[in-house]
Structure 1
Amino acid sequence: MDAKERIETASNFLLQSPPGEINDVLNDVRNIISDDDSLQDGIQSTLREYNLEQFITVDVPGAQHQTLISRAAILSTEEGSKERFLDPRSKTSFLFDHLGLEASDPQPYEPDADSEAFRSALETATSAYLSSHFVEGVAAVFVTPDAPNKFTVQIVSNKYNPNNYWSGRWRSEYAVDLSDSTVVGKIMLNVHYYEQGNVQLNTTHNITIALPAAIVTSAPAAAASKILALIDFEETKYQTSLNDTYSEMGEKTFKALRRALPMTRQKLDWDKVLGYKIGAEISGSKGLSRRHEL
């Protein structure tokens, strides 16, 4: 395998990194490549793709909150590994380094006046939703470029517990289209358990919500609150279905994989297991003695 193939392999590993574990994966692939300069040059685009897809969070320069690194937040691409992103909440743009994961050079940003009232109302409703369901979550609401009646709501919540060998990430994204009276979104869930093993859950659930005319024509604050209530209903329903699925797997699916009875078709008396073992050893010893005599 040549250097280019090793870089491509390393990139594939990085894109599949579980939540909060990309640095661990990167340290492992460094041992495979054994050339930090080539590795850094070769994985810049991979790290960018990972950050954008995973809704990586970053502290906003000059603010007391975090925002998301995502495609909806991109304002412009700079030279090298940096891009300029938007934080609508603070009306600030900033440079983000995909390698160093740092934000810098904050600049004021003037939002579109025709869209800001509804965008701000969606942001307020989303923040209230976060405080109820994702205590450590981060969200952002963006206006779709050149479409003042279209908005993107993005939510991410991370849970890292390396001491107990698990990590997880909940991401959800919704395109709110007032002109079409629809909300189209998806929930992306990643969970990794790795205590004495390696089990991952990667799933995506698509959602489409038709907005009644009464919501679309309401005042921004009322409409935004009702839209988030509909999102809350769909996400709660999906989480409940996941809980039911895994409960059924534990009670039925996994039990069905196990043999109900031994091949003798008789239940094993666990109180006599030690006796069985001793008896087998004695029988084995007698067999050896007879063969020795022969």
Structure 2
Amino acid sequence: MAELSLEEKCNLASKLVEQAPPGQVNDVINDIRAIIGNDEALMPYIRPALRTYILTQLTVVEHPASGDVPVHTSLLSEATILPGSTAEKERFIDAEGGRSFAFDHINMTISEYEPYELPAEEAAFRAELAKSLAAYCKNHFPSGSSSVSSSQYPLLPPAPPAPVPAPVSEEPVTDVVPEQLNTGDAEPAPTPAVGDVEVKQEEVVAPGGLEKLDEEVEKAKEEEEGTEAASVPESTKPVVEESSEAASVPEATKPEVTEEPGSEEAAKVEEEPAAAAETAKVEDEPTEAGEPAAEAPEVPEPPAQATEAVEPAPPAVEQRKQERIENPTYTLEIVGNRYNTANFWTGRWRTRWVVDQAAGTVSGTINVDVHYYEQGNVQLATNHTSIFPLPTEATGSQSIASQIVTTISKIETTYHLELNDVYGELGDKVFRGLRRALPVTRQKMEWEKVSGYTLGSDLTKARA
């Protein structure tokens, strides 16, 4: 026989997880890990199998207190999966706490609580069923837990407020930065008319300091004007006397210039571009040492025009639609666990009832699992189904929810008594059918003489 591949071993091992006895799934997984010896290859098979086991066995999880709700428990099952959640982001319902949550099946931890609220009609009926079922569970299952869930979609949480766009400023935008005053002791800039004349702050503040400052300014202006006049070269002075050559030319030889009408205007037009070109040339030439450079005339900038305030388009609001089921179903679940590992036995009672308003029925399944493993391995697994019509109106002091739970109680009690009768008949009928009443000799064994029996000779005499 060919040896199984690693994938086949992991696939078979995952099926053992789904069949783990009550309260022993961790022991089963640890044994499988020791047999396979490759957790990296085993975990992809263990995760879905463990999730299936947790949901089918109605695993109980504990929730911390929240507001007015004390510490409580809820069940994990297919019915408690939040309607609308996906497999990638699976969430479960904590109906008592009014929350939904995410669950890690490997680490068995709860996280990411979110609000959960049903519509008023479904919430009221679910609350009545939960109250009646909790009272029944407390009386018949001391360590049991119950849960009632609805297939109706929860109410959508309130939409977050739309973001308010920032107001658009209508003031003109310029590059001018306003001067910030009174920001510190800034050093005063020198007065342009004074140049490098040092002015002491104490002299200005002292009495008569301003008159003295004005005299120094006037004196500096006079010195500056004298320096500019002395620095003008002789070549630039205008020549008044005519040259000797021009004087020796007789008047007869001088050409006569006749002015025609409009010639002056034409000359002015011709002189204007020439003057502009000459001015540009003078500006391009470097100035002599000591002379201040000619500054271009300042052209005032046109005032900035105010930009029209354009309001941005509001962000698109996501359209949310409240989903609803016309006739939702209600699932009532009970689980009772009894673990006694010291005496090598464990047991679990599970019931699941579905209230179908559209069909007008209540159908349920009862599962009982018992495991004895003292010097052996004996398991009991039962499956019992039942169905009854859904009450349509209240009767006397019992509401519809109370009538449903009362009928469930009667069916489960009857089945429990039947199991007790079966156990009573096991010793007298079932177990006796598994072995012979007498040995092959057709004689009862005399246990006082067992030490004196010789098996071979006695069998030979019996056959003779």
TM-score by length of 2: 0.56
Distance 1:31 1:12 in 2: 16
Task: Report the CA distance between 1:273 and its aligned residue.
Answer: 3.2
Aligned to 1:88: 95
- Residues 83, 97 of structure 1: 8 Å contact kept: no
Task: Report the CA distance between 1:3 and its aligned residue.
Answer: 2.0
Aligned to 1:60: 63
Give the greater-gyration-radius structure (CA): 2
Q: Aligned to 2:143, what secondary structure does the other structure show?
A: coil
Q: Aligned to 2:383, what secondary structure does the other structure show?
A: strand
Higher helix share: 1
Check 1:44–1:261 CA distance in 2 against 1; reply closer, same or farther (3 A cut): closer
Give me the CA root mean square deviation. Answer: 2.1
Q: Which amino acid is the alignment partner of residue 411 of structure 2?
A: E
Q: Which amino acid is the alignment partner of residue 130 of structure 1?
A: C
Superimposed CA distance per residue, residues 56-99 of structure 1 (whole angstroms, 9 cap, x where no aligned partner): 111124351111111111122464xx631001122111111111
Aligned to 1:263: 440
Q: Which amino acid is the alignment partner of residue 2 of structure 1?
A: S
Aligned to 2:141: 134
- Residues 114, 148 of structure 1: 8 Å contact kept: no
Say yes or no: does 1:225 pair with 2:402.
Answer: yes
Q: Aligned to 1:99, what secondary structure does the other structure show?
A: coil
Task: Report the CA distance between 1:243 and its aligned residue.
Answer: 1.2
Runs of 4+ residues over 6 Å off in structure 1: none
Aligned to 2:292: none
Say yes or no: does 1:22 pair with 2:25.
Answer: yes
Aligned to 2:209: none
Superimposed CA distance per residue, residues 112-166 of structure 1 (whole angstroms, 9 cap, x where no aligned partner): 2121111100000000011110111111101123254521101111111111111
Q: What is the aligned length?
A: 275
Provide structure 2 residue ranges, at least 5 long, that are not aligned to the other structure: 153-324, 459-464
Distance 2:341 2:394 in 1: 46
- Residues 393, 399 of structure 2: 8 Å contact kept: no
Check 1:90–1:142 CA distance in 2 against 1; reply closer, same or farther (3 A cut): same
- Residues 192, 200 of structure 1: 8 Å contact kept: yes
Distance 1:221 1:255 in 2: 48
Aligned to 1:207: 386
Distance 2:326 2:144 in 1: 27
TM-score by length of 1: 0.87
Superimposed CA distance per residue, residues 206-247 of structure 1 (whole angstroms, 9 cap, x where no aligned partner): 111123xxx421289622122111101111111111111121
Higher strand share: 1
Q: Which amino acid is the alignment partner of residue 53 of structure 1?
A: T
Task: Report the CA distance between 1:266 and its aligned residue.
Answer: 2.6
1:239 maps to which of 416, 419, 424: 416
Q: Which amino acid is the alignment partner of residue 363 of structure 2?
A: V
Provide structure 1 residue ranges, at least 5 long, that are not aligned to the other structure: 285-294
- Residues 151, 177 of structure 1: 8 Å contact kept: yes
Distance 2:434 2:48 in 1: 43
Q: Which amino acid is the alignment partner of residue 20 of structure 2?
A: S
Structure ranking higher on relative contact order (CA contacts 8 Å, 6+ apart):
2
Check 1:224–1:84 CA distance in 2 against 1; reply closer, same or farther (3 A cut): same
